[in-house]
C-alpha cells in the first residue's frame, strides 16, 4: 500500500489508545503503517480533553487531560491539524443535514475535504458528505 495522509476522528484516536479491538483490520493497517501521516483535527483533541476532564472517558496512558496533546505528538507521532481559513470557507459550502448538525463533526469534514485527505471514523453520518467530496473510511464495528 502506498503511504498516504489520513485524518482521524476522535473516536478512532480513542480506540487506537484505549480499545484497539474496536478498529477494523483496514483501519489498523492504516494507523500502523509507518509511512502514513496521521492527523487529528484540533477540534477532536478539544473534544477528548473535555471528555477526559468531565470523567466521561478514561484512558490509561492519559493520567489527566494535560497528557493528551503530548501523547498524540510524542507517543503516536500523529500531527494535530488546526482549523484555518480554507477549512472555514469549505465549511460554509457544506450542506446542513437535518440529522447531522454537530458543529465539531462538520468542521472535521470540512478539513478533510479541503485538505483532500480521507477521514476515518465510526460515525456513519459522515457518509452523507461523500456527495460533497469527502473521502470516507468507515470503521464498522
pLDDT in tens, 6-48: 999 999 999 999 999 999 999 999 999 999 999 999 999 999 9
Q: Provide the pLDDT for residue 65.
A: 87
The total number of structural domains in the chain stands at 1
Of 113, 96, 3, 19, nearest to 57 by C-alpha is 19
Q: Provide the pLDDT for residue 81.
A: 97
Q: Write the CB contacts of 56 (distance below 8 Å, at least 6 apart in sequence).
A: none
CATH code where residue 129 lies: 3.40.50.1010
The residue count of the chain comes to 141
Identify the domain containing residue 118 by its residue range. 5-138
- Residues in a beta bridge with 105: none
* Mean pLDDT to the nearest integer, 111-115: 97
Query: 120: helix, coil or strand?
Result: strand
Amino acid at each position: 500500500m502506498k503511504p498516504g495522509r489520513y485524518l482521524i476522528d476522535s473516536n478512532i484516536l480513542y480506540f487506537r489508545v484505549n480499545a484497539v479491538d474496536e478498529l477494523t483490520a483496514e483501519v489498523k493497517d492504516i494507523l500502523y503503517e509507518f509511512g502514513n501521516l496521521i492527523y487529528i483535527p484540533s477540534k477532536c483533541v478539544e473534544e477528548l480533553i473535555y471528555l477526559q476532564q468531565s470523567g466521561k472517558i478514561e484512558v490509561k496512558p492519559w493520567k489527566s487531560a494535560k497528557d493528551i496533546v503530548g501523547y498524540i505528538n510524542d507517543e503516536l507521532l500523529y500531527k494535530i491539524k488546526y482549523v484555518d481559513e480554507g477549512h472555514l470557507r469549505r465549511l460554509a459550502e457544506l450542506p446542513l443535514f437535518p440529522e447531522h448538525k454537530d458543529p465539531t463533526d462538520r468542521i472535521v469534514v470540512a478539513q478533510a475535504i479541503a485538505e483532500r485527505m480521507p477521514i476515518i471514523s465510526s460515525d456513519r453520518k459522515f457518509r452523507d458528505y461523500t456527495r460533497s467530496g469527502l473521502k470516507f473510511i468507515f470503521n464498522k464495528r
